[in-house]
C-alpha cells in the first residue's frame, strides 16, 4: 500500500511515538524473517515489498484514525504492484522513482500530485497541480480545484494526463480498434483455409 519513506521525518511531523515504534517493529520483523529464511535455505517471498508496504500502511491508517489532525502535508508513496484507494485530504502526493506497476485512486481533493517511476496508473478526483515523469505513467483526473483545470507538467516517455471523460473515450476507441483487427485476422485466416 503506502510507504512513508522518511520515518524520522514522519515521526517529527506526527509527534506520535507509537506510530514510529510500530513502523520500526514491522520493519525489524521483516528483516529478522528474511534473515531466518535465508539461513534456512528458503526462498524469500516474491511479494515481500507489497506486504511490508501494506503492514506499514495499515499501521499508518490506524494511527491516522486516532490522530487525524496530525496528518502530514505530503504523502510519499512507494511500492510495486500495489492497488489502493486512499482519501487525499488536501495533501500533496508524491510517488518516488521506485514505484512500479501500481494502481492508485485518490478520493477528495489533492493539492499536488507528482508521479515518478514506471507503469503507474493513478486516478484522482480533484487536484490543483499534476506532475508526471518516468516511463508509461498514466494519470486520470475528474476536475481541478475550485472548478479550474489543474496545472499539468508532463515529461518522460509514454506518460499521459487525461480527464476521466477523455480516458474513457480513448479506452473505448482502443477496444474497438482491437476488435476490428481481430475480426480482420479471423477473416484472413478463414480465406486462407486455416
What three-state secondary structure class fits 140? Answer: strand
Residues with Cβ within 8 Å of residue 160, at least 6 apart in sequence: 132, 137, 138, 139, 154
- pLDDT beyond 50 at 46: no
Q: How far is CA 98 from CA 78, 84, 158, in A?
A: 6, 17, 17
**Mean per-residue pLDDT, 56-74:** 58
* Average of per-residue pLDDT values in the chain: 76
- pLDDT beyond 90 at 158: yes
Strands 83-87 and 160-163: unpaired
Query: Which residue, 128, 124, 134, is CA-closest to 167?
Result: 124
Q: What tens digit of pLDDT does each residue of 22-38 get? A: 455 555 455 555 554 55
What three-state secondary structure class fits 51? Answer: helix
Does residue 186 contact residue 178 with C-beta atoms inside 8 Å? no
pLDDT at 30 (0 to 100): 55
pLDDT band at 188 (very low <50, low <70, confident <90, very high): confident
Q: What tens digit of pLDDT does each residue of 69-107 get? A: 566 799 999 999 999 999 999 999 999 999 999 999 999
Cell numbers for 150? 489543474
Q: What global pTM score does this model have? A: 0.57
Distance CA 154, CA 169 (A): 21
Amino acid at each position: 500500500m503506502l510507504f512513508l519513506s522518511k520515518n524520522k521525518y514522519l515521526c517529527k511531523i506526527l509527534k506520535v511515538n507509537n506510530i514510529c515504534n510500530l513502523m520500526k517493529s514491522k520493519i525489524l520483523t521483516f528483516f529478522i524473517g528474511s534473515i531466518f529464511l535465508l539461513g534456512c535455505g528458503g526462498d524469500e517471498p516474491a511479494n515481500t515489498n507489497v506486504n511490508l508496504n501494506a503492514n506499514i500502511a495499515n499501521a499508518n491508517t490506524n494511527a491516522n484514525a486516532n490522530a487525524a489532525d496530525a496528518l502530514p502535508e505530503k504523502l510519499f508513496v512507494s511500492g510495486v504492484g500495489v492497488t489502493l484507494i486512499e482519501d487525499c485530504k488536501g495533501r500533496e502526493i508524491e510517488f518516488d522513482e521506485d514505484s512500479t506497476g501500481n494502481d492508485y485512486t485518490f478520493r477528495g481533493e489533492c493539492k499536488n500530485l507528482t508521479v515518478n517511476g514506471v507503469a503507474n496508473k493513478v486516478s484522482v478526483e480533484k487536484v490543483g497541480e499534476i506532475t508526471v515523469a518516468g516511463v508509461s505513467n498514466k494519470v486520470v483526473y475528474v476536475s481541478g480545484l475550485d472548478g479550474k483545470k489543474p496545472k499539468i507538467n508532463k515529461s518522460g516517455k509514454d506518460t499521459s494526463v487525461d480527464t476521466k471523460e477523455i480516458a474513457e473515450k480513448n479506452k473505448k476507441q482502443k477496444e474497438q480498434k482491437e476488435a476490428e483487427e481481430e475480426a480482420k485476422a479471423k477473416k484472413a485466416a478463414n480465406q486462407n483455409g486455416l
